[in-house]
Amino acid sequence: MARVRLSGLHKHYGALHAVRGIDLDIPEGEFTVIVGPSGCGKSTLLRTVAGLEEADEGAIEIDGEVVNDLAPRDRNIAMVFQNYALYPYMTVFENIAFGLRARKFPKPEINKRVQEAAELLDITEQLVRYPRQLSGGQRQRVAIGRAIVRDARLFLFDEPLSNLDAQLREEMRAEIKRLHQDLGKTMIYVTHDQVEAMTLADRIVLLRDGLIEQQGAPLDLFERPETRFVAGFLGSPTMNFVPATLEASDGGLAVRFAEGTTLPLPPTRAQAVRSRAGSAVTLGVRAEHMSRANDAGTREGLAPLNVTIDLVQPTGSRTYATFNLADTAVSAELQAHDVRGPGEKMALLVDMNRIVLLDPETDRVL
Amino acid sequence: MSVAVASGGGFGRWADRRFKYLLILPAVLILLLVGVFPFINILIVSFQDISLIFEDRSFHGLLNYKRLFTEARLWQAILHTVIFTLVALPLELVFGLLMALLFLEPIRGRQVFLALLIIPTVISPIVAGATWRLMFDNQFGPINQILGWAAGEPVPIIWIVQKGFVWPAILIAEIWQWTPFMFLLLLAALSNVDKSQVEAAQIDGASNLRIFFRIVLPAIKPVLAIVLLIRALDLFRLFDVVWALTQGGPGTRTETLSTYAYVQGFQQFETSYTSAIAFVVVVLLSIVVVLALRRVEIAR
């Protein structure tokens, strides 16, 4: 187990400033997911921790020891690569045993450990095979087996599931999470997939252009994003952003759209943005926080909105209905049978307790 | 036949299926013309008795082949060739591999160095040999001059004559010319080794030596085998450099199989005898090539 601390980390590739000053403290045993769009520097960050890339500036500490000048082999870490990086000319057994042999473990110990890892990952049958004879999922298991067999103090995952098909990805995701629960090791996991990030992480570190945009527990980030980027990156479908103005009405505040529609803010939300009354804002609302108005009446904080649906996308359990609001296509997630087809006029309820209001200038949440 | 009829064949279908053979026909014909025909002609001539003086086209059985076994000069030439191959090939391999490993790292001016390094292989071998003859010249050659500076007194080595120096001189020229070839192909193979495998091995705790022998070497093995095969065959036919430097001399001290065959065929005009040599060499090398290729196949 290991505690990892990065401070003031910078990395350049020629003219490209890939990592631009990262400070990060990862406690022992935590599952940290570094997530961000491609090119945000997340893989570079991971490779720097692994020692495969040299940091230009800043310190990498593992268990209080600065490891900047240590070779990867001396950092006592394990890493799972995106393309698995299995050794093609060795059997699965030899692949998993490679690190142990390199570290001169006694033979019986090697056999025991490889067997244990194989059983844990359900690849005992495959031990005598070569990587090319395995399916994608099995290869991934071997790669994980190679990582866990050495009992390293820190596990690094570099987009390990991105080469798998959707179903297998879900399976392996669950297995990696179980692995973390069983082993209790510190793990750093890099992905561009926000679903993977949400489901796996104890803590998400959202990276953008080489800087940390926001970090915290998955639900924290999801429910309390600090910027438009975070709000838009997490969640599927992407959060709707609609230009509006904030105006005073009946002693409270309301969000007013260009066509004149208004959505009143509940008093609890209004408090925080009172000083903004009269200025332009961006309303951020998730598809699942809108529902079809029914006869049961409204509860506190639900604001009615009359719309004309122009696109319907059923997914089976839910249906996505798209409509136009202030010249912006907005998508609402409705019950499967709530909507009949395009052209339908309906009343929606917007959960105003769950919306975010952003400053359109800075794209920061108000 | 019944299958073709049942599937409603006719000539069109037949032609369709045979079309591929039609496409390779020209290549096969050319191959027959330049490969098989001379080979058969050599075989025929080797059973006759043709030389500068006689042209006896009757069948003489194994006359020329018997002579192969009794000619000490031939066996000396074969021995020279084999030993030279066994010495030069590993040296070229080691130098080529080390250079290729060096060039894997990003270094300033890589392209320029690459271009310079490839020059020896691009030069015609006979020109290279002539150049080295100048280099090794005992009076005006830069090599003796440099050695002289190092020794502090004039060095009177006559490279292409003196025992103990003449083979090394050939060896140096040959290695100089062909190591870049080895280097270039190995560099290409090494660049293709999956970098993440090497990184995984580093993290696994393997030493650089272990990574090289367990990860990198197996990955470049097919290319390595082919390069070694090509160079071994080239070395076995070693001619140009030797001819340019020593013409097999002094005496027959540096005679190789190829220079010997050349002398027999084109200076002594022992046409039938030379054909017998050529035929035996072709058969022997073919066996080596087939065996080697089969090994490469297994490795893959």
* pLDDT tens track for A143-190: 999 999 988 999 999 999 988 888 889 989 999 999 999 999 999 999
What is the rounded average pLDDT of the residues A277-284? 92
What is the rounded average pLDDT of the residues B31-37? 88
B219 touches chain A (CB under 8 A): yes
Task: Give φ, ψ of A122 to 5 degrees.
Answer: 60, 45
- Domain presence at residue B10: no
When the pLDDT of each residue in chain B is averaged and rounded to a whole number, the result is 85
With beta carbons under 8 A apart, name residues in chain A contacting B194.
83, 85
Chain A nearest-CA residue for B215: A87
Q: Which residue of B203, B215, B298 to mutate against A (max A Cβ within 10 Å)?
A: B203
- Domain presence at residue B204: yes
Share of chain A above pLDDT 70, in %: 99
What is the rounded average pLDDT of the residues B175-190? 93
pLDDT value of residue B298: 55
A335 bridge partner residues: A318
What is the rounded average pLDDT of the residues A301-321? 92
The full 3-state SS of chain B, as one line of letters, equals CHHHHHCCCCHHHHHHHHHHHHHHHHHHHHHHHHHHHHHHHHHHHHCCEECCCCEECCCCCCHHHHHHHHCHHHHHHHHHHHHHHHHHHHHHHHHHHHHHHHHHCCCCCHHHHHHHHHHHHHCCHHHHHHHHHHHCCCCCCHHHHHHHHHHCCCCCCCCCCCCCCHHHHHHHHHHHHHHHHHHHHHHHHHHCCCHHHHHHHHHHCCCHHHHHHHHHHHHHHHHHHHHHHHHHHHHHCCCHHHHHHCCCCCCCCCCCHHHHHHHHHHHCCCHHHHHHHHHHHHHHHHHHHHHHHHHHHHHC
pLDDT value of residue A111: 95
* B219–A88 CB contact, under 8 Å: yes
Evaluate whether ipTM surpasses 0.90: no
pLDDT value of residue B165: 85
What letter does residue A126 receive in the DSSP assignment?
Answer: G
Specify the number of domains making up chain B: 1
pLDDT value of residue A358: 93
When the pLDDT of each residue in chain A is averaged and rounded to a whole number, the result is 92
Residues 6 or more apart in contact with residue A252 via CB below 8 angstroms = A264, A265, A267, A270
CATH topology classification for A4-228? Rossmann fold (3.40.50)
Distance from CA of A52 to the nearest CA of B (A): 7
Give the H/E segment covering residue A282. Answer: strand A280-285
- Domain presence at residue B49: no
- Domain presence at residue B239: yes
Distance from CA of B250 to the nearest CA of A (A): 50
Q: Which residue range(s) make up the domain with B289?
A: 68-299
With beta carbons under 8 A apart, name residues in chain B contacting A77.
203
B202 touches chain A (CB under 8 A): yes
With beta carbons under 8 A apart, name residues in chain B contacting A51.
202-203
Domain with CATH 2.40.50.140 in chain A: 240-358
- Domain presence at residue B126: yes
Q: Which residue of A49, A79, A132 to mutate against B (max B Cβ within 10 Å)?
A: A79
- Compute how many other C-beta atoms are within 10 angstroms of the C-beta atom of residue B36: 11
What is the rounded average pLDDT of the residues A313-336? 92
Residue A259 binned pLDDT confidence (cut-offs 50, 70, 90): confident
B197 touches chain A (CB under 8 A): yes
CATH of the domain at B285: 1.10.3720.10
Residue B183 binned pLDDT confidence (cut-offs 50, 70, 90): very high
Residue B136 binned pLDDT confidence (cut-offs 50, 70, 90): confident
What is the rounded average pLDDT of the residues A277-290? 93
Higher pLDDT, B48 or A333: A333
* pLDDT tens track for B54-106: 777 777 778 788 888 888 888 888 899 999 999 999 999 999 999 999 888 88
Domain with CATH 3.40.50.300 in chain A: 4-228
- Domain presence at residue B162: yes
- Domain presence at residue B248: yes
Residue B220 binned pLDDT confidence (cut-offs 50, 70, 90): very high
Q: pTM of the full predicted structure? A: 0.81
A151 touches chain B (CB under 8 A): no
A146 touches chain B (CB under 8 A): yes
CATH topology classification for A240-358? OB fold (Dihydrolipoamide Acetyltransferase, E2P) (2.40.50)
Distance from CA of A333 to the nearest CA of B (A): 42
pLDDT beyond 50 at B2: no
